[in-house]
């Protein structure tokens, strides 16, 4: 009996030791597994931090590019004397003009004759669009100048219809169909605006010697052809040869100028 008890105790000790060893091995495996996952977590965090840094760098670069674009855009707008709001306003004018142009272009000759006043206004509005400094912006330049052929076709067709239907046998330039356009005087420092330079503009007469036309048409404002002021809205008659009145006005101006020079008054 005593011997059996000793054997049993020995078996208990052996089994207990084996169980403890097994528990110890499981704990060590768990520690290794945890260490492995911790390492992977740290690795992923490092990658995430690197990606966040890269995203922040890209955002910073994008902000710098946006600032450069805005600075360049503001400089361009300053050159043509406008603002983002002014560009939006001109963009709306161009869109409205294109809509009207397309609508009139779809009409028959009979319909065009009935709506000839609208064609007349369209032509004048086109001259205003083309003479606006904002037309120089790349967004508008090709588009607005691309309207010219279509506008000229409409106005030529209507002129021919007026001649045919109303028996008017006059030169196209003398038709009352085309009303006067206008020009807003800028500053001498920035725009070099004087009657000579205004008449020389391609969008006006492309001929400085026609300046007396502007002078005579605006006698209510211009008392001295050498003195015009920023902000004045001048009437611009249609391009044509100088009339007798315009020639007389020019001769009187040159004669008076010569007399001042002879008298020592100078310019």
- 86-144: pLDDT as tens digits: 889 999 999 999 999 999 988 888 888 888 899 999 999 999 998 888 988 888 889 99
- Per DSSP, helices labelled H in the chain are 2-79, 84-105, 109-114, 116-131, 141-146, 148-166, 188-191, 195-200, 211-217, 244-262
Q: What would the two tokens of residue 32 be?
A: 């290794």
pLDDT exceeds cutoff 80 at 157: yes
Task: Give the integer Cα–Cα distance in Å for 179 and 235.
Answer: 10
Range scoring the smallest mean pLDDT among 35-39, 49-53, 60-64, 163-167: 163-167
pLDDT exceeds cutoff 80 at 167: no
2-79 and 84-105 helices, crossing angle to 10°: 70
Task: Give the integer Cα–Cα distance in Å for 225 and 207.
Answer: 17
Per-residue model confidence (pLDDT) at position 214: 92
Query: Looking at residues 6-21, what average pLDDT do you find?
Result: 58
pLDDT exceeds cutoff 50 at 11: yes
How many Cβ atoms are within 10 Å of 249's Cβ, its own excluded?
18
Q: How confident is the model at residue 3 (pLDDT cuts 50, 70, 90)?
A: low
Per-residue model confidence (pLDDT) at position 94: 93
For 193-204, what is each residue's pLDDT tens digit?
A: 899 999 988 888
Task: Give the integer Cα–Cα distance in Å for 163 and 106.
Answer: 21
Query: Looking at residues 213-238, what average pLDDT do you find?
Result: 89
Q: What would the two tokens of residue 33 be?
A: 């597994």
> 181: buried, middle or exposed (CB in 10 Å: 19+, 13-18, 0-12)?
buried
Q: What would the two tokens of residue 22 be?
A: 């097994």
Per-residue model confidence (pLDDT) at position 190: 85
Which contiguous run of DSSP H or E holds residue 182?
strand 181-184
Which contiguous run of DSSP H or E holds residue 80?
none
How many Cβ atoms are within 10 Å of 231's Cβ, its own excluded?
9
Per-residue model confidence (pLDDT) at position 13: 56
Per-residue model confidence (pLDDT) at position 118: 92
Q: How confident is the model at residue 61 (pLDDT cuts 50, 70, 90)?
A: confident
């Amino acid at each position: 009996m005593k011997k059996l008890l000793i054997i049993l105790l020995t078996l208990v000790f052996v089994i207990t030791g084996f169980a403890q060893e097994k528990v110890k091995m499981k704990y060590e495996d768990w520690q290794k597994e945890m260490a492995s996952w911790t390492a992977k977590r740290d690795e992923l965090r490092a990658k995430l931090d690197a990606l966040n840094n890269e995203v922040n760098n890209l955002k910073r670069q994008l902000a710098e590019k946006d600032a450069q674009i805005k600075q360049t855009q503001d400089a361009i707008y300053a050159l043509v004397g406008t603002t983002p709001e002014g560009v939006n306003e001109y963009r709306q004018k161009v869109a409205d003009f294109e809509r009207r142009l397309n609508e009139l272009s779809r009409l028959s000759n009979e319909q065009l004759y009935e709506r000839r006043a609208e064609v007349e206004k369209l032509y004048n509005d086109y001259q205003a669009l083309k003479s606006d400094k904002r037309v120089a912006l790349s967004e508008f330049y090709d588009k607005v100048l691309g309207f010219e052929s279509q506008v000229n076709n409409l106005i030529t067709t209507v002129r021919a219809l007026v001649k045919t239907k109303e028996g008017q046998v006059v030169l196209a330039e003398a038709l009352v169909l085309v009303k006067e356009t206008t020009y807003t005087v800028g500053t001498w420092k920035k725009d070099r605006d004087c009657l000579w330079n205004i008449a020389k503009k391609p969008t006006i007469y492309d001929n400085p010697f026609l300046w007396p036309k502007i002078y005579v048409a605006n006698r209510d404002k211009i008392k001295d052809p050498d003195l015009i002021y920023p902000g004045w809205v001048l009437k611009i008659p249609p391009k044509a040869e100088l009339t007798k009145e315009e020639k007389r006005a020019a001769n009187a101006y040159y004669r008076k100028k010569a007399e001042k020079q002879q008298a020592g008054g100078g310019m």
